[in-house]
Amino acid sequence: MSRVDGYGRIDRTRTLTFTFDGAQYTGHPGDTLASALLANGVRRIGTSVKLDRPRGITAAWGEDPTGLVQIEEPFPEPMLLATTVDLVDGLVARGLGGRGRLAEVPDTARYDRRHTHCETLVVGAGPAGLLAARTAARRGDRVVLVDDRPAAGGALLGTERICGRDALDFVADTIAELRADPDVRILPRTTAFGHYDDGFVLALERRTDHLAEPPRNVSRQRVWRIRAGHVVVATGAHERPVVVEDNDRPGIMLAASARDLLHRYGVRVGREIVVFTTDDAAHGAAADLEAAGARVTVVDPRPGAGGSATRQAQVVGTRSDAEDGAVTAVTLDDGTVLPCDTLLLSGGWNPTAHLFSHVRGALRYDAELGAFRPGEPLDGVTVVGAANGTFDLAGCLAEGRGETPEPVARTTRVVWRTEGDPARQFVDLQRDSTVADIARAVGAGMRSVEHVKRYTTIGTAHDQGRTSGVIASGITAELLGVPVESLGTTTFRPPYTPVAFAALAGRERGRLYDPERTTALHAWHVEAGAVFEDVGQWKRARYYPRPGEDMEAAVLRECAAARTGVGILDGSTLGKIDVQGPDAGVLLDRIYTNLMSSLKPGRVRYGVMCGVDGMVIDDGTVLRLDEDRFLVYTTTGGAAPILDHLEEWLQTEWPELRVSLTSVTEQWATFPVVGPRSRDVIGAFAPHVDVSNAAFPFMSWLDTEVDGVPVRLARISFSGELAWEVSVDGWHAAAVWQRLLDLGAPYAITPYGTETMHVLRAEKGYPIIGQDTDGTVTPQDLGMDWVVSKKKPDFVGRRSFARPANLDPLRKQLVGLLPVDPDLRLPEGSQIVELTDALPPPPVPMLGHVTSSYRSAALGRTFALALVKGGHARIGERLTVPVGEALVPVEVTGSVVFDPEGTRRDGEPGVH
Amino acid sequence: MQLIRCPWCGPREEVEFHYGGQAGVAYPADPAALSDEDWARYVFVRDNPKGRFEERWSHAAGCRRWFTAVRDTATYRFER
Ligand SMILES: [Zn+2]
């Protein structure tokens, strides 16, 4: 055991048991898995990803490139850093060889999201961040302070003094002051991992992993979405090593990390320690470890550094004759071999300026530091303390208060690597990338550090090159013989640390992945055994199979009912826009291709809308409710975009029109009652209404009441059959639907779904906008010249109809296709070519494609709709549709394959 | 997630907005009088500058009002 009495903030009164690589160990509350392993003398954590070399723990916190573990208990999770895993009783983990394994069982933990707003967000609760938070809070700001450690204090070890007091007491007092302020929110164990435009920061809060028995009502992790007026980046700095030969063995670690492990967890990482440094901070680490009972030799090449005991030399290599591969000796450049069990390295400090870089803050190379630090300031962002390259405590406190610190002389000597075999000098330990790899990249002609990093994969592991990135730049520059700043800088991108997809998904998984819209009748559809299809976010009943029926059988039955008896559909998802105002008719005349202002109240008209390019964007019926009021029906998918389209024209082109628009899609449930017996059903439903053709003609509507419930009846048909649409508010929808079913029972009324609706409309050649059209189809292409007004001087799209491309006789036009084999249903999307019994060599000229294809109960055969070049002129011709290996002959017909004369609209002759 | 300032609602997150392309492209007073080429220019051709650009935006998930904003297409910054 290497635990030292009198050190650390762990709770030694309690003991936790855990398992690593099959062996049992103990630790204490407050430990990380890494500190507990080191306390138990476990130094080898795993092996490297490519070279299978033994690896240990290289740093004390999230910058560690090597100590990756797989957690098995309490829940399997791959690729976590032992340094950031809180030790809990019963933890089971094992070391990794660079790759983890996802859990094979579903994650039962819950993940969540919260939003918050503040004037000042401070990231990092070290001395600079604490002062910044306190300063903002005292001036009255709402403050959010996030910090990724369990407790505030940052890099403070407890040995420092602030304002004449023990530094950790100062931290505790400051936190207490902030906690007492109701406008301050402190989020420990929370990593700000992404910084975006306008003060938007994402942070991951780890809420339960450190708890022995997590409360079931608390989510495991949650993502904070923080919008801040001002972001203070106080994220500290990461120590970087000097690269030496065989620098990847267990027992080789950053000097400040060893010091951190001593003061935070009471772990002395070795007994015989060599410290190799080119920076002053490591001398403090050496002194502390010596005071804790280790024998320490400091090697520092800078003349006069560290006093007389310091050896003025460089470490050039390491050796191991230990079973676990840990370091047992180091070699100096003068040939001396120093036996040891630990080598600590320090080559200076890299400011952690990621959150500044995320928002395109430029980083500038500072040759004195040997690191990149924030350059030109950004609006709304302040970088303070070590993240800004200010490493002395007084300077950090001053910057936290918003003051400019006294300049401090720099003493770091920037040394990227010492002499040695480049193939054994590891730059990125996780990626097994060496100086030799950089030399190969440079030899292959790479000059930009971005290219070198991609070629060598340096900086692409979980740690994103926290400790290796600038060293790679430095060595590349050395190899090229150019200054580091000429290589360009690295831009850091979110996330700062790996974030689980589960946390990002939060509650939006499974059924909550995407909003579901359901109609007022949804429960009835479910009860009736409907098979649903997604139409946008709507759940629509597609068909209602009876026992033993597949979709084809169910749809044939439903179609036959609508054509010979009566069917009923839940059509409530159609978009509905209430258009009101004295100029409502003027607006609709300008929007629709046909005339709407001439429509009389009480009447209905079908209309088509085009874009300015003359292409159809939507269609539907329009009810004139009153002189200054229309109800516009859109397609289900068009509900929102068409409202936007109308608003755009109204607001940006014709603001003088006195018209208001509002969506009433959700307010009305609409049920088409369809078929030759529909008159019987509607007549029984509203016995006080005269439903004869004379009194209630096609394309008319009226409002009435049934048992005191207001309902609207409209004679609209999307099937060619006699039909009514019954509209009612959502509250009464289920009751009205049931009433219609009951009254229709004598006629075997048959609920049908969207699939039958599609077949019925396709038999009549009614296009579905977005299925039979694709944004390149005009009303004329659809054979609907009749819907394009010749009288109106202008409407949206009109001018485009006269463009030469729109008049091209070879435009693709909507036609019907009848496969010669009446049993063969063409796959939708099939290509169409000239009639042939052998395809010519490619490229085969394509004539068009199948847009809709069904089996028709009414025709007793299959049919399709298709867009075909010059299709209207090809009616009567035969063409070929390649289907897999087969060449299927089809006959081109008009798009209306059933009842082209429209004899069924007013009911079957003989019925009434 | 950028903030966009709706003149009616104030700063809101960009997901609430719908982009409407170049501003100030008026619907021609008499489309029938335009040549095919001029009409095609109106329908299809828009500026695509790097830098300052006057654009139309709609606060689609908010007040549904259209407004004109000036944005730098290189930095995404809106002029206030
Ligand atoms: Zn608004």
Single-letter residue type at A99: R
* Contact between residue A832 and residue A847 where contact means Cβ atoms under 8 Å apart: yes
> What beta strand segments (E) does A715-767 contain?
723-729, 750-751
Instruction: Give the whole-angstrom CA distance, residue A413 versus residue A282.
Output: 13
Count CB-CB contacts under 10 A for residue A723.
Answer: 29
Contact criterion met (CB < 8 Å) for A798 and B31:
yes
Which of B37, B64, B67 to substitute to test the interface with A, most A CBs within 10 Å? B64
Q: What is the pLDDT of residues A778-813, one digit of tens each?
A: 999 999 999 999 999 999 999 999 999 999 999 999
CB contact set of A117 (below 8 Å; sequence gap of 6+): A142, A226, A227, A228
Confidence of residue A487 (pLDDT cuts 50, 70, 90): confident
pLDDT one-digit tens code per residue, A46-69: 999 999 999 999 999 999 999 999
If DSSP codes are grouped into helix, strand and coil, which group holds residue A527?
A: helix
What residues 27-46 of chain B have any CB closer than 8 A to a CB of chain A? 27-28, 30-32, 34, 36, 39-40, 42-44
Reported ipTM: the value is: 0.96
Short-list A591, A638, A637, A625, CA closest to A727:
A625
pLDDT above 70 covers a percentage of chain A that reads 99
Is pLDDT above 90 for A491?
A: no
Give the C-alpha distances (Å, rounded to integers) separating A885 from A200, A270, A643, A833, A881: 55, 73, 45, 14, 10
Q: Which stretch of DSSP H or E encloses residue A892?
A: strand A886-893
Q: What confidence tier does A910 reach under pLDDT thresholds 50, 70, 90?
A: low
Q: Pick from A75, A101, A79, A94: which is nearest to A25 by CA?
A: A94
pLDDT reported for residue B1: 86
Q: What's the CA gap between A626 and A628, in Å, rounded?
A: 5
**Residue A511: partners with Cβ closer than 8 Å, 6 or more residues away:** none
| DSSP assigned state of A324 | T
Question: For residues A197 and A204, what is the distance between their CA atoms, to the nearest angstrom?
Answer: 18
Question: Which residues of B are less than 8 Å from A198 in CB distance?
Answer: 1-3, 11
Both structure tokens of A324: 């676990």
* Contact of A33 with A96, CB cutoff 8 Å: no
Average pLDDT over residues A207-219: 91
The pTM assigned to this predicted structure is 0.89
What crossing angle do the helices spanning A281-291 and A255-265 adopt, rounded to 10°? 40
pLDDT at A158: 87
Say whether A198 and B58 touch across the interface (CB within 8 A): no
Q: Which residues pair with A221 in a beta bridge?
A: A111, A206
**How far apart (Å, rounded) are the C-alpha atoms in residues A422 and A691?**
94
Three-class DSSP labels, A586-650: HHHHHHECCCCCCCCCCEEEEEEEECCCCCEEEEEEEEEEECCEEEEEECCCCHHHHHHHHHHHH
Q: Which two tokens stand for residue A417?
A: 């690597």
Among A25-34, A216-225, A301-310, B32-41, the minimum mean pLDDT is found in A301-310
CA of B3 to the centre of ligand 1 (A): 12
Listed residue (A32, A38, A40) closest to A88, CA to CA? A32
Lowest mean pLDDT among A405-409, A476-480, A816-820: A405-409
* Cα–Cα separations (whole angstroms), residue A166 to A112, A173, A385: 38, 11, 19
pLDDT of A912 above 60:
no
Q: Are A726 and A689 in contact (CB under 8 A)?
A: no
Which pLDDT score, from 0 to 100, does residue A1 have? Answer: 56
Dist. CA A622 → ligand 1 center (Å): 29
Average pLDDT over residues B34-49: 96
- Say what the pLDDT of residue A909 is: 62
C-alpha of A214 from chain center: 28
pLDDT on residue A103: 86
Residue A283, pLDDT > 70, answer yes
B5–A contact, CB cutoff 8 A: no
Task: Kindly give the distance from the C-alpha atom of residue A515 to the centroid of ligand 1, in angstroms, as a whole number.
Answer: 23
Gyration radius from chain B CA atoms:
15
Residue in A331, A326, A329, A281 with CA at minimum distance from that of residue A311:
A331
pLDDT digits (tens, 9 = 90+) for A108-121: 899 999 999 999 99
Q: What sign does the dihedral A518-A521-A526-A532 (CA atoms) show? A: negative
The pLDDT, as a whole number, for residue A399 is 97
pLDDT in tens, A696-744: 999 999 999 999 999 999 999 999 999 999 999 999 999 999 999 999 9
pLDDT for the residue numbered A488: 76
Per the CB < 8 A criterion, the answer to whether A77 and A86 are in contact is no
Residue range A628-649: average pLDDT? 95
B25 near A CB under 8 A:
no
DSSP secondary structure letter of residue A202 = E
* Residue matched to tokens 């559909």: A569
What does the alpha-carbon distance between residue A232 and residue A355 come to, in Å, rounded to a whole number? 10
Distance from CA of A771 to the nearest CA of B (A): 24
Q: Degrees (nearest 5) of the Cα angle A398, A399, A405?
A: 60
Q: Which of A197, A648, A798 sits opposite B66 (nearest CB)?
A: A648
The closest alpha carbon to A384, from A233, A239, A199, A238, belongs to A233
Contacts of residue B15 in chain A, CB cutoff 8 Å?
none
| Residue A488: φ, ψ to 5° | 85, 165
Distance CA A612, CA A63 (A): 57
A799/B34 Cβ within 8 A? yes
Share of chain A above pLDDT 90, in %: 92
pLDDT of residue A490 exceeding 90, the answer is no
Cis peptide before A909 (omega within 30 of 0): no
Average pLDDT over residues A254-259: 97
> For residue A410, what pLDDT is reported?
87
Interchain contact, A794 vs B3, CB within 8 Å: no
Amino acid at A692: S
Residue the block writes with tokens 């029926």 = A549
Copy the structure tokens of residue A469.
Answer: 């990135």
Q: Cis bond leading into A74, ω under 30°?
A: yes
Q: What are phi and psi of A840, to 5 degrees?
A: -70, 165
**Contact between A302 and A19 (Cβ < 8 Å):** no
Of B11, B32, B43, the CB nearest to A613: B43
Q: What is the pLDDT of residues A265-280, one digit of tens each?
A: 999 999 999 999 999 9
Instruction: Parse chain B into domains and list their residue ranges.
Output: 1-26+49-80
Q: What b/e string do you get for A513-548 counting C-beta neighbours within 10 Å, with b at 16 or more?
A: eeeebbbbbbebbeeeebebeeeeebbbbbbbbeee
- Choose, out of B8, B13, B15, the residue to mutate when testing the contact with A (most A CBs < 10 Å): B13
- In the CATH scheme, what architecture does the domain B1-26+49-80 have? 2-Layer Sandwich (3.30)
Chain A, chain B: beta-carbon pairs less than 8 Å apart: 55
Q: What value does the mean pLDDT take over residues A473-495?
A: 91
- The answer, yes or no, to whether residue A171 has pLDDT greater than 70, is yes
Cβ atoms A813, A872 nearer than 8 A: yes
Average pLDDT over residues A84-95: 96
CB contact under 8 A, B58 and A800: no
Q: How far apart are the C-alpha atoms of A78 and A76, rounded to whole Å?
A: 7
Distance from CA of B1 to the nearest CA of A (A): 6
Query: Taking a C-beta distance cutoff of 8 angstroms, is the pair A347, A369 a contact?
Result: no
Residue of B nearest to A196 (CA): B1
Angle between helix A469-480 and helix A449-456 axes, rounded to 10 deg: 110
Give the pLDDT mean for A564-569. Answer: 97
Q: Partners of A706 in the beta sheet?
A: A709
CA distances from A578 to A587, A609, A645, A682 (A): 13, 16, 14, 25
CA distance B43 to B37: 10
Residue A210 near residue A188 (C-beta atoms within 8 A): no
Of A255-259, A301-305, A542-546, B8-12, minimum mean pLDDT range: A301-305
How many Cα atoms within 13 Å fall on the side-chain side of residue A412? 23
